[in-house]
Structure 1
Amino acid sequence: MDDQWSRSAADAVPFVHPGVLLTLPMLLTLRSDVAHRTNPVYSAYLSTLSTVTQPYGGLPAVRFASLDYKPHPQQLQSNGSGITGFREDAFAAYTHALLWFIEQDERHAKKAIECMDAWPGAWTAPIDLANGLQISWAGAVWPRAAEIIKHTYPPGWVGAEAFGRMLTDLL
């Protein structure tokens, strides 16, 4: 057997947070590119600040980057009700987590935390599998926001454990 494939788990390189999607060096490069107005990163950053969604699923148009963004926690129903808020809040949380890291503006970290803390008490398992695809789309975004906040926001995040349990139970 090839030694490359026979290494034990103990020999494996440990996972470092952040690192699910963006590593710390990647986040630092992102921050630097915005600070130095390096495109295409800087133009994408500006677009993020100004993008407004279309009204959808009973929710009004929103700007994910707004510090006035309000989370939409609600029970997820088998008919699809609640999915739009779940998905939009995931995108808002991730947007604010990135903005926190880029700008080092604590208000964005607090907004990301507000979005994430709104959901653990808003649903009860089991969720009907008819919502599985929608939940998976949003479910891929929530951990990105959580990881950035949990591992880069010095004051910490009191609700991280409850949010982690929600993700584990839901996804």
Structure 2
Amino acid sequence: MSTKTQKLALNDHDTAFVHPGLLHKQADLDRMKTKVAEKAEPWMSGWNKLLTNSHAALTWQPNPADTIYRGRDGVHPENYPRLYNDIAAAYATALRWKISGEKSYADKSIEIMNAWSARLKGLGGNNDVNLAAGLYGYQFANAAEIMRSYNGWAAADFTRFQQMMLHVFYPLNHNFITRKERCMSHFYANWDLCVMNSLLAIGVLCDNRDIYNDAISYFKSGAGNGAIGNAVYFIHPGGLGQWQESGRDQGHATLGIGLMGAFCEMAWNQGQDLYGYDDNRFLKGAEYVAKYNLGDSVPYVTYSNCVGVIQPVISSGGRGNMRPIWELVYNHYVNRKGLAAPNCQRMAQAVRPEGGGGNYGPNSGGYDQLGYGTLTCSLDPVK
């Protein structure tokens, strides 16, 4: 067994992880390749969206830093766009390689990841640094998980990348979900969820079952708002699930759906069905957020928490927000499981074909999700 596939911290009694096994398993990558070769829709439209994104080009040049700062600390300028742009490029070129078979795109993805693992030593800023550790941790791990089988990625360089994930991103993730505060609902759901995603992804990438299990346990029973029972705050008669950030604004509500969808898909690819957990509770929340952002009315109960936040009405701020997150949710519940998800389906149709980082503006919100779901997540309907 090569160094790249050896277990780093996996107990003998635990089941080995599936690789690749984060957002995309090998069967998923094979499906994308086949559908594009057949020029089948909607995969072909998704593929063309990828091809026209500048992050997927061989001309992309990595721009690593010793320390990434997110959140103003009064000393250092924020420079985190350098990281999220390069991650978007590492992921896009990894997909191009897997689907086209062109080695030059594999080499470009590795060039980007090697540049960062050779240089990045820390993350800083104010409390927002936890968002950087979470969002960019899980996204970078996903790019690396796609590329781990590439024989052009030297074993020593892959190990160095794993060490970067374990020593730069993981400690912040771990400290965040193990914090002990009087009131654990101080942070909105998206904070917990991005950190949970990073923990799960790092656990798989680094073959560390303990890290992975911490993320799964938090989803099921964590004290904060990323736990499924807190994120989907209230189940209304009829089955719609009120999302925890719905009284805040719709940009963050849709972000939460994208993050929980990614979490459930990564766990699914490791053999755990969190999509269906607690009677498909996530589906109820996704249907709620989709319906309201499509312009329809939804029921709402006052949201309050233990730090004095009271939100008596649903927020219209950012209503109609369009993120490339809905293909994943729709395709799982409808085309994979044969369930009804009419609002997610309408939202997926409205956003299709989904783009990636760079297609939704230059600011960080456009890079909060890896995107390209029309290409990567579309499935033929279940028979």
Range into which the TM-score falls when normalised by the shorter chain: 0.7 to 0.9
Distance 2:134 2:46 in 1: 25
Deviation of 1:126 after TM superposition, in Å, equals: 5.7
Deviations 1:101-158 (A, max 9, x none): 101101000000011011123332363443221332122111111111112x233334
Q: Which of 69, 75, 81 is the matching residue for 1:77?
A: 69
Query: Which stretch shifts more, 79-88 or 104-113?
Result: 79-88
Distance 2:15 2:32 in 1: 25
Distance 1:146 1:126 in 2: 19
Counterpart in the other structure of 1:56: none
Per the alignment, in what secondary structure is the counterpart of residue 14 of structure 1? coil
**What TM-score do you get using the length of structure 2 for normalisation?**
0.37
Counterpart in the other structure of 1:142: 140
Verify: 1:119 aligned to 2:110, yes or no: no
Larger Rg: 2
Deviations 1:12-40 (A, max 9, x none): 65322011111111110011011111111
| Counterpart AA for 1:76 | I
Distance 2:123 2:58 in 1: 32
Per the alignment, in what secondary structure is the counterpart of residue 76 of structure 1? strand
Distance 2:163 2:15 in 1: 26
Q: Greater relative contact order (Cα 8 A, min sep 6): structure 1 or 2?
A: 1
* RMSD after superposition: 1.9
Q: Is the contact between residue 123 and residue 129 of structure 2 (CA under 8 Å) also seen in structure 1?
A: no
Instruction: Give matches, 1:37-76, under 5 Å.
Output: 37-51=39-53, 63-74=54-65, 75-76=67-68
Counterpart in the other structure of 1:91: 88
Distance 1:30 1:89 in 2: 23
**What TM-score do you get using the length of structure 1 for normalisation?**
0.79
Instruction: Give matches, 1:1-12, under 5 Å.
Output: 10=13
Q: What is the number of equivalent residue pairs in this alignment?
A: 150
Deviations 1:29-67 (A, max 9, x none): 01101111111111111011113xxxxxxxxxxx10110
Q: Is the contact between residue 127 and residue 170 of structure 1 (CA under 8 Å) also seen in structure 2?
A: no
Unaligned runs of 5+ in 1: 1-8, 52-62
Distance 1:163 1:33 in 2: 31
Q: Is the contact between residue 71 and residue 115 of structure 1 (CA under 8 Å) also seen in structure 2?
A: yes
Calculate percent identity across the aligned residue pairs: 27
Deviations 1:73-116 (A, max 9, x none): 12313536221011111111011111111011010000000110
Q: Is the contact between residue 97 and residue 103 of structure 2 (CA under 8 Å) also seen in structure 1?
A: yes
Q: Is the contact between residue 87 and residue 135 of structure 1 (CA under 8 Å) also seen in structure 2?
A: no
Counterpart in the other structure of 1:6: none
Counterpart in the other structure of 1:54: none
| Counterpart AA for 2:69 | Q
